[in-house]
Each structure stands twice: as structure tokens, then as C-alpha cells.
Amino acid sequence: MCLSIPSKVVSIDVERNVAKVDTMGVTREAGLELMEEGDVKVGDYVLLHIGFIMNKIDEDDALESLKVYNEILEKLDEEERRQMVINDDNCENRGQ
């Protein structure tokens, strides 16, 4: 199962049309091709799918979702957390 965890935009490279986002402490790049030009700004919360930003979300909603994700992670043991990361990295749609 692929989860779309809210991510905060920390920088934007206009020339490459990518944003650097922080997803619960993990920084990665995400394409902006699915968004209107100039719609995403540093500090926005967004949802990603297969490496692309697919939409912006309200900051309050993002923070509430992150709180719930953290509560879930606290209940998992180390092996379950590791397996969630592996499953997310092997998302069926990734790279298609």
C-alpha cells in the first residue's frame, strides 16, 4: 500500500521544475509537473504520488495527519516500521 504523507516544501528549483520536500524528517525531490506554475511555494504542505506533487493541502490538516502518523509509528515495533518503509519504497506505481 502506498501512503501519501503530507510533506513540507523546503525549496524550489524553478529551472528543473522540482521542489525539495521534507516528509517526516526525510528530504527528497518531487516533480512539479502536475501543478500550475507558481502554485506551490516554500512552506506549503503537499501530497506526493510516485515522485510528483499532486496537490497542496491546508497546513492545519497536514499537521493533524502528521500527528496521527506519528501516533501509529509509536505503536509499531522496529521491524514493523522497517517493513512499512520497504513497502513504501516498492510502491506498485512508483516510476510508471
| Long-range contacts of 46-52, Cβ-Cβ distance < 8 Å, separation of 24 or more | 46/6, 46/7, 46/8, 46/9, 46/19, 46/21, 47/4, 47/5, 47/6, 47/7, 48/4, 48/7, 48/21, 48/23, 49/2, 49/4, 49/93, 50/91, 50/93, 50/94, 50/95, 50/96, 51/94, 51/95
pLDDT beyond 60 at 66: yes
CATH architecture of 7-89: Roll (2.30)
Q: What is the pLDDT of residue 10?
A: 98
- On average, the pLDDT of the chain sits at 86
pLDDT beyond 60 at 1: no
Q: Enumerate the domain spans of the chain.
A: 7-89
Q: What's the pLDDT band for 24 if we cut at 50, 70, 90?
A: confident
pLDDT beyond 90 at 69: no
